Amino acid sequence: MVFQINGKTLLECKENDIQLLIDDPAFRESEYIDYKENFAFLEIEDKTAKNGKKVEFRNDVCSFANAEGGYLVYGIKEKQGTVSEIIGITIPKNDTDKFELQRRNDLQPIFPRVPNIKFSFIPLQSGKHVVVMYIKHDSFAPYTQIENQVNYKFFKRAGNEKVTMTYAEIRNMFNDSIALDKEIEKYRKERLHFYGEQSEEHNDYYSKFLLLHVIPDTFLDSDYDHSVFSIEKKKGQIFSHIFSEFGCNLPSIPCVDGLKFYPYSFTNTPSICYIYNNGIMECFQSLKDVSFAGDDFFPSEYIWEKIDTALDKYIEVFKENKLAEQVYVCISIYGCKGMISEPANYDTLYKGVIDRKIIKCTPILIDNIFNDDTIVMCKKRIYVDYLLSISIKHNPILENYIKELY
């Protein structure tokens, strides 16, 4: 869905841009945009009526999230769907951050979670603002709000209206959501099999390895593919530094589906990394010779440092170039069954030992790579899941994160 004025999205517009909306039928209300004079519940004192308008507000948001996404624009008068006047709304003390936080709090009853929303506040000469909300469709749809814990109503945007979804539409959307999880699982399984097969060909470097994937939620949609080679040609070697911790910071090599990165010497640094056109990052690291305390010890913190650094740099590059918004982080460990992850502790009578040949940590969704707080919390979940998957139990950081998260 592309909606632009003067080559800008609504989130990027200034007052002179949105003045062009007036009386232009090209920008009339549609399945992608809805104009409102104000947040109706802010103008009502009666508690029951106010709550009713908040319900309507949430349903408006859900209707876009359950369709193809779109814009809710406040501070606009419309006549028969066409903009007639830019009036703006009053933001108390011009505190747009607080106003946005309050609106997000109003949306908390939406289930399974608040959809991915971006706010923009366009200041007007009058001192008021036009408030733009961009609601994205994502893999968590269908969205609804629970009214009195009894009635579940699902809405979608159709034309310039909000309509109730049919049973078939709801069922299909649930199936699509499940399908994304299955496709991620299928992809990880294929890549693990690919590298695992190399060990069967008597290459010891592939007998034990780490496989890190960062997978955008749009990886199946060709509309979101980017030629990463072309991006690198325009902006320089922006991808290779992502893989510095893996030793793969040589200039990229183009391949049929993206870019691959090798170390100076595979024998000294047995690793291979990829950035694919669909946004997926893949990092392979042999674990054959990485143990520092004997062949049976699994160096969990050394490996986490590689994961953590590569993830931070991926987010930095993809955020700066707007190549992704929501990503799944997937850690897989192969061939390390029996390795000691936590040395024996005679006080607790516990020794951590990896209990299986193939470990596939739960995919953790970072649902907004543009939000630093979201990234911090999600990385804590990734770290907790990683340590628990390799049987580490006694770790002060782990214990603090578990208390904080759960």
**Domain boundaries, given as residue ranges, for the chain:** 4-165, 180-405
Name the token pair of 207: 């007998």
Label the pairing between strands 70-74 and 110-111.
unpaired
pLDDT(220) > 90: no
Q: Residue 264 corresponds to which tokens in the numbers above?
A: 């100076």
Our CA angle for 223, 175, 177, nearest 5°, is 55
pLDDT at residue 1 greater than cutoff 70 = no
Q: What is the pLDDT of residues 72-94, one digit of tens each?
A: 999 999 998 899 999 999 999 99
**Which residue's entry shows tokens 């992704």?**
324
For strands 70-74 and 33-36, give the pairing: parallel
pLDDT at 2 exceeding the cut of 80: no
Q: What is the model's pLDDT at position 255?
A: 94
Residue 149 has pLDDT above 70, yes or no: no
* Average confidence (pLDDT) over 196-206: 74
Q: List the single range of 60-64, 162-166, 259-263 with lowest mean pLDDT.
A: 162-166
* pLDDT band of 222, cuts 50, 70, 90: confident
**What's the Cα-to-Cα distance from 404 to each of 13, 171, 300, 372, 387, rounded to whole Å?**
39, 35, 22, 17, 16
Average pLDDT, the chain: 89
Average pLDDT over residues 385-401: 94
Q: How many CA atoms lie within 13 A of 57 on its CB side?
A: 25
**Cα gap 146→153, rounded to integer Å:** 8
What architecture (CATH level 2) is domain 4-165?
2-Layer Sandwich (3.30)
- CA 8, 12, 13, 14 dihedral sign is negative
Q: How confident is the model at residue 36 (pLDDT cuts 50, 70, 90)?
A: very high
Distance of CA 255 to the CA centre of its chain: 26
Q: Is the peptide bond before 142 cis (omega within 30 degrees of 0)?
A: yes
Instruction: Check residue 112 and give its pLDDT.
Output: 85
Higher pLDDT pick, 236 / 96 = 96
Contact 216, 224 (CB under 8 A): yes
Question: Given this model, what pLDDT does residue 306 score?
Answer: 95
Taking alpha carbons only, the member of 224, 245, 220 closest to residue 318 is: 224
Backbone angles phi, psi at 155, to 5 degrees: -120, 155
Tell me the CA end-to-end span of the chain in Å, nearest whole number: 38
How far apart are alpha carbons 381 and 359 in whole angstroms?
17
pLDDT for the residue 291: 60
Contacts (Cβ under 8 Å, ≥6 apart) of 200 = none
